[in-house]
Each structure stands twice: as structure tokens, then as C-alpha cells.
Amino acid sequence: MTLAIPDFAQASVLVAGDIMLDRYWTGQTGRISPEAPVPVVRIAGVEDRPGGAGTVAVNLASLGVSTDLVAVTGDDEAAVSLERLLGARGIRSEFVTAADLPTITKLRVLSRNQQLIRLDFEEPMNATGVGPGLRDAMERYLDTVGALILSDYGKGALEEVSTMISAARHAGVPVLVDPKGSDFSRYHGATVVTPNLAEFEAVVGPCPDERTLIERARRLCADLDLGHLLITRSEKGMTLVSADGQLVHLPAEAREVFDVTGAGDTVIAVTGAGLALGLPAGEAAALANLAAGIVVGRLGVASVTQGELRHALHQAGKGGRSVVDEDELLALISESRLRGERVVMTNGCFDILHAGHVTYLEEAKALGNRLVVAVNDDESTRRLKGPDRPVNSLEDRMLVLAGMASVDWVVPFCDDTPEALICRVLPDVLVKGADYKPDQIAGGECVRNNGGEVRVLSFREGRSTSAIIERLRG
């Protein structure tokens, strides 16, 4: 399978299901209450995040997908907070209001990165009549979306799930379900159902080996008229079993696993976005697996961007070094700084790479942890060096640089100077050769104003691209 990152901005996806507000109160604790043997937490921060179906919607929006969400909430402050948080992400929300129910809220109190207690504010939705309202709201979107994702947390909003699936199928819209419970018959006719291994085994029984898992998955697809089962299996990756006999196993992409929270939401979001774009289920699942490998390497519920996916795909094929565009580079640097890494940046044409370049780039890399090399495109090189340059194309120059042990990321730019790019990247160290003075270096002022430093390194005597060209000309 040849994998490419599509333009997710062309996709439109509707999310429907159980939504909740995840609320985090954080602070310091240094004493025990005199009233009871419990820690006293001095609250210093409050953060609200969309949870449940809201997390799926946030994952979609992070990719650039046009995202709508319909859900059931109460008529309260938590619903207002959810609407605001979703709107800030560009997500259009429509809430079916159950005035006699609270918006499901999960309040976590944390201190020193430890959760001390969780307080749940919710009432059962059974027999409240919210199901038909959510179904009706969902149906109004079916003519305008490319996929429907049903996020089932067992809270009761999806009591009409069977009817919703039928309506989506009738409209020709792929429908994906994140399931709950031990009875999957209510998801009859869905395009994709995405259980984790424990959820799958709760329905079909223990699967001690691959053969059993695949046989039971195929039987479940046939019994429930499912298009595909996408089973997430932690360190064993993901397995896609399809009604047409297709079997795809995707090994885990994560190098380090810090937190699996929300990984299932990422998987169904990316898979849904892929199907909305018309991708085959295998390709959509492979993209989802790539995204899951990113989010489990972070603490807390996370989402991925299109640039991060492109970078991860580059890394898979380039051993961790890559030619990137500007957006990818910014995403990579953001992650690098979270790890406490020091970013060094330089630029040039690098037309014919020689020993002087090699030494220079090695010295630059020694000033930090990551080295970014910005390269003039062909047009800007001609403007700077003359009509006979460059000797080598931009693609070739970047590929050679990306193969060097000292270089982490190579990015092109089209202006005469990389000042605009440097002022966006804001490296910790900006480096140029000795033919420049520090106050002449493009982007230097931005770097210094941000607390970084500008360094000048010497070139090896007698080593230059121009000298090489002259020798070749004889």
C-alpha cells in the first residue's frame, strides 16, 4: 500500500453521540485537612475540554476537516462552555437540549500531576425522549457531509442508533461507530465499527490467537452486515477485517507510549475523514494507525495535525530525517521544544555540497540538538547567483542535505532571504558563515528579540561552490 496524506480540508464529517465536558482543577497540596483525612488542594488553574463525541470532533478539526457535531446537553453553564470551546476550534455544534438533565460533566482535581478525585455530574437519559431529537438533528446534515461518526459512550443519547445508521446508508453516507457494551446488534449495517480488543472480546468471547480473532471478526461482519471491523490492539497495532474478505494488519507505529487516553477517538476521526474523502478503508485505517502512534506518545488527550501526519509518514521512510514544508517544520519544532531540545538554524543555496559545507553543518549542529537547514529554491538562487545557477535542482540539493548525519530537517524558501521563515521558526541559535557580520544576517533581529543568539562560523579555506565550478570549466 502506497500511503499519502490527503487534503483533509476537502472532507466534511458529522459527529453525533454522547458529549461531555471534561473539567480539570489543578493546584498545590501541602497539608491534610483538619476536618477529615484528605489533602487540601489550593486551586490555581481551571481548564475545560470537550469530551466524548467532542473529542472526536476536535480531532477532526485539528486535521482541517469541516466538522459538525450534534449532541444532547442540559440547559446550563456546562453546555455554554462546550459551545464556546467547540466554536473556538471551528466546529459547528447543534445541541438537543434536555432541560431537566445536566450536561454530563466530569470534574477532575489534580495536584502534582496526580488525579486525586473525579466528580461526575450526570443523570441517565433513558426514557427522556432525547433520542428522536438527536436523530432528527442528524438527518438534516446527511445531504452535506461525506461521513457520519457515531460516538457511543453508553450515556443514552444514541438510543435511536439503528435508525440513524439506516438513514445514513439510505443517503449513501459512510457511518462509523465507536461502540459500547456487549451487544453490537444495534450497530447493524454500519460501514465501520471500531472496538478495542477488550470491547471486541466482550462480544465474541476470548480470542487466544490470530486465527480465532479473524474468524470471529469475519463472522460478526457477516451477522451484522458490517462493512468493516477495525480492531485496535494496543502494542499489537490494528487489524482491519472486511466483509469482502480484505484483511489488513497494521503494526503499532508508536516508538514510546506515554498515554493511550483518547487514542480511539483519534482512530475513528482519521478513519472517518479518510472515508469522507473516498479513500479505501485500508488506506484510511493506515492513516489512523499513523495518527494513533503520534497521540499515544503524548500525555493527556491529544489530537494531530495534517502536518504532523506528513512528518510521521516522512519519518517512516527516511529514518527520522526529512524534507519538510514550513507547516511541518513548525509542528516538528513545537514538539522538539516540548522535549527541551535546542534548535539551530542556518540557510543557503548549498548548490554543490563540499567538505567546507560538511564541516560547517557539523559545527552548527554541535550548538544544539536539532539542525534546520533552509534552502533557496531555484528561482531565488538564480536571482542571487546568476542565470547559470543552480547547478543542481532544489529537489536534489535538499535530498543530499537530508542524508547528512548532522541535518535533521530541510525546508525550502522562495524569497531572496529567509527572514520571514526565520521569524516564524525563531530558532534558539541562528548560524551563518564568516562572510557575514552578525548584524547583517537576515532574521537575526527576530532571533535576538526572542532571546536567541546569532553565531558566525568560519568556512574551510579554499572550499567553495564557485571554486569547484571554475575548476570544472577549466
Q: For the chain, 474 residues long, give each residue's pLDDT as a single digit of tens.
A: 567 888 999 999 999 999 999 999 999 998 999 999 999 999 999 999 999 999 999 999 999 999 999 999 999 999 999 999 999 999 999 999 998 899 999 999 999 888 999 999 998 886 567 889 999 999 999 999 999 999 999 999 999 999 999 999 999 999 999 999 999 999 999 999 999 999 999 999 999 999 999 999 999 999 999 999 999 988 888 999 999 888 999 887 654 544 345 688 999 999 999 999 999 999 999 999 999 888 876 555 568 888 788 777 766 654 445 788 887 788 778 877 877 889 999 999 998 887 888 889 999 999 999 999 999 999 999 998 888 888 889 988 898 898 888 998 999 999 989 999 999 999 999 999 877 787 889 999 999 999 999 999 876 555 555 555 555 555
Contacts of 450 (CB under 8 A, 6+ apart): 426
Point out the residues that are catalytic. 265
Query: What are φ and ψ of residue 15, in 5° steps?
Result: -110, 135
Per-residue CA distances from 284 to 5, 16, 109, 290 (Å): 10, 20, 37, 10
Is the separation of the CB atoms in 221 and 242 below 8 Å? yes
Name, in order, each residue with C-beta under 8 angstroms of 75's C-beta and a sequence gap of 6 or more: 97, 98, 99
Distance of CA 239 to the CA centre of its chain: 20
Beta strands in 138-264 (DSSP E): 147-151, 175-178, 192-193, 228-232, 238-242, 247-250
Helix axes 263-276, 53-62, angle to 10 degrees: 60
DSSP 8-class letter at 355:
H
323-473 has which CATH code? 3.40.50.620
Which residue is listed with cell 471486541? Answer: 200
Residue with cell 550548538: 367
Question: What sign has the CA pseudo-torsion 182, 185, 186, 190?
Answer: positive
Q: How much is the pTM?
A: 0.72
Query: Can you say whether the dihedral through the CA atoms of 351, 353, 354, 360 is positive or negative?
Result: positive
What's the number of CA atoms in the CB half-sphere (13 Å) around residue 286? 17
CB count in 10 Å sphere of residue 451: 8
Contacting residues for 34 by C-beta, under 8 A, at least 6 apart? none
3-state DSSP assignment of residue 322: strand
Q: In this predicted structure, what is the pLDDT of residue 300?
A: 58
CA–CA distance, 27 with 322 (Å, rounded to integer): 40
- Please state, in angstroms and as integers, the Cα–Cα distance from residue 313 to each residue in 154, 197, 406, following that order: 35, 26, 21
Q: In what order do the strands lie in the sheet with 453-457?
A: 322-323, 409-413, 370-376, 343-348, 429-433, 453-457
Tally Cβ neighbours within 10 Å of residue 392: 19
* Omega prior to 6 cis, within 30 of 0: no
The owner of cell 532571546 is: 451
The answer to whether residues 245 and 222 touch, using CB atoms and an 8 Å cutoff, is no
Question: Can you tell me whether residue 5 is helix, strand or coil?
Answer: coil
Query: How far is it, in rounded angstroms, from Cα 161 to Cα 205?
Result: 24
* Dihedral (Cα; 23, 26, 31, 33), 10-degree rounding: -20
According to CATH, the superfamily of the domain at 8-320 is Ribokinase (3.40.1190.20)
- The pLDDT value recorded for residue 463 is 54
The total number of residues written for the chain in this structure? 474
Rounded-to-integer distance, Cα 11 and Cα 225, Å: 26
- List all residues 6 or more positions away from 204 whose beta carbon is below 8 Å from its beta carbon: 216, 217, 219, 220
Q: Whose CA is closest to 20, among 160, 127, 154, 195?
A: 154
Residue ranges of domains in the chain:
8-320, 323-473
Q: Measured between alpha carbons, how far is residue 19 from residues 25, 84, 125, 134, 305 in Å?
A: 20, 14, 12, 12, 22
Residue recorded with cell 473516498: 278
Residue 439 CA to residue 445 CA, distance in Å, equals 8
Query: What SS3 state is found at 27?
Result: strand
